[in-house]
Amino acid sequence: MPETVYLVGAGPGDPGLLTVKGRELLQRADVVVYDHLASDRLLAWCRPGAKRMYAGKQKGRHAYSQPALNRLLVREARAGRMVVRLKGGDPFLFGRGGEEALALRQARVPYEVVPGVTSAIAVPAYAGIPVTHRGIASSLAIITGHEDPAARPLGSARSAGTGGVPAADTLVCLMGLSTLRATTAALLQHGRAPATPAAVISWGTDPRQRTVVGTLRTIVKACEEARVAAPAILVVGDVVRLRRRLAWVERRPLQGRRILVTRPADRAADLAWRLEELGAEVVTIPTIELAPAASASAFRSALRDMKRFDWVVFTSPEGIEWFQRLAAPLHKDVRALAGRHLAAIGPKTAASLRARGLHVDVVPKVFSQEGLVAAFGRRRLRGRRALLLNAQEARDVLARGLRALGMDVVRVPLYRTTVPARLRQQLREAFATPVDVVTVTSAMCVAHLVQGLRAARSPGQARRLVCASIGPVTSAAVRHHGGRVAAEAKTASLNGLVDAILRWARRSD
């Protein structure tokens, strides 16, 4: 019995516009066959081990012919693999979803259609153009620009309104940049007024979105002068005038900024999402991967003698996760911390401990090793024993500071940082297009970034880095390697980093 093929609409570009069902299917699929305009961010939802197959179609370049693609879907399903066919926009709106569904039906392969948010409505909305509006437009026509309008005069005439057939108030032409001149000429020929408002929206719902406004008479020249690039859609009708009051994407404070996020893969999503919501184009390249510390013997010894310690100090949420991971083979868990006083370097680390039902005794006001030493300074610590759990490469500031306060400190590394295998290639690709600012959240992050750029044979780029730093220690590392700190967080947190980036953007406008 063949598995099911799901024809899933990926939406117009913004990964947040994928439907909930579409995301759930991506998380379950054995095979994902995706289009050129399906965001890379959507593929992050694929489960580990899922086969990803590119089936994009660009002008003059098709990864598969349509018959070959149909056969691919049938073959994978008959092999017992659940398939998601991820298509830009909506599968049944100029997406050949109907052809693929017919091919599956003919092959007796079960299929389901998961509609997507269509660019015909979403892209104008992101440009501040409602396709209908009371008193202005109550009807909508959607046409494709892939076909020469001159070859289908009936369709163009109906869209414009001739021979007593009422015209649609709003016309949306998808994929119409290459035939823009012919489309506008056909609309004028069939009765649309030259002064009819028109807009061309490039890269709609993407941070690269750009909108050019004119009339049917002027829009072609305006697009040529602005060098508008595909993908783009044309909107024609009086609703275009509403853009003057309703445009909102361009008002976002980071609109048009290209920002590189270098946090570890499992922690990058939150920062990337916040920056994207503010309008930035975010490229995520983790410069750090985590691996177990070189030896676990010190941890095993500390866990066995946990009752000897008065305090246990965690300096990152990752430390808590590695504590659990290393304790599990020893048939232990966080209950081993019972009766110990706990300290956390910042609110995220404290929240991670509290989520496991643990009380946190100390959280500093300044989220750094120096801040944690200062927070301990108000307590009587002489003769107390502390277990410090952190990264193998962590600075020794905290251990030295606690010893200066009279504590007996045992430092046990739980994990170490490594350079991701694909970092060099990813950095080469990322910097092929100008990057406005790079976010860095640790000195080690900076060191790996510079190392990766040198491996990519871009040492000059390392000296030209413009960085947004999470705090003074990280900033010092940037300057040590010759980079420039454009923004520094006032508090060492994601909120502080985002606020610093917003201040930088206001200054540089």
pLDDT in tens, 374-433: 998 778 888 899 999 998 888 889 999 999 999 999 999 999 989 898 999 999 989 988
- Positive or negative torsion for Cα 439, 442, 443, 448: negative
Maximum distance among all Cα pairs of the chain, rounded to whole angstroms? 96
In the predicted model, what is the mean pLDDT of residues 281-293?
90
Q: Is CATH 3.30.310.50 the classification given to domain 5-116? A: no
Say yes or no to pLDDT of 457 above 50: yes
According to the model, what pLDDT value does residue 154 have?
A: 36
What percentage of the chain reaches a pLDDT higher than 90?
69
| Residue 60 pLDDT level (bands cut at 50, 70, 90) | low
Q: What's the alpha-carbon Rg for the chain, to the nearest Å?
A: 28
Domain residue spans of the chain: 5-116, 121-250, 258-288+421-508, 291-418
Phi, psi of 74 (to 5 degrees): -65, -45
Q: What is the pTM of this model?
A: 0.75
Q: Is CATH 3.40.50.10090 the classification given to domain 291-418? A: yes
Q: What is the pLDDT of residues 297-318, one digit of tens each?
A: 999 999 999 999 999 999 999 8
Q: Is CATH 3.40.50.10090 the classification given to domain 258-288+421-508? A: yes
Averaged pLDDT score across all residues of the chain: 90
Q: Are 487 and 503 in contact (CB under 8 A)?
A: yes
According to the model, what pLDDT value does residue 165 have?
A: 38
Active-site positions read 35, 57, 175
Say yes or no to pLDDT of 128 above 60: yes
Quote the tokens at residue 489. Answer: 């967080």
- Positive or negative torsion for Cα 470, 476, 482, 487: positive
Q: Is CATH 3.30.950.10 the classification given to domain 121-250? A: yes
258-288+421-508 shares its CATH topology with 291-418: yes
365 contacts: CB under 8 Å, gap ≥ 6: 371, 375
According to the model, what pLDDT value does residue 191 have?
A: 87
Q: What share of the chain is helix, strand, coil (3-state, %, to 5)?
A: 40, 20, 40
Q: What is the pLDDT of residues 145-178, one digit of tens each?
A: 876 555 554 344 444 554 433 479 999 999 889 8
Residue 231, preceding bond cis, omega within 30 degrees? yes
352 contacts: CB under 8 Å, gap ≥ 6: 317, 320, 321, 344
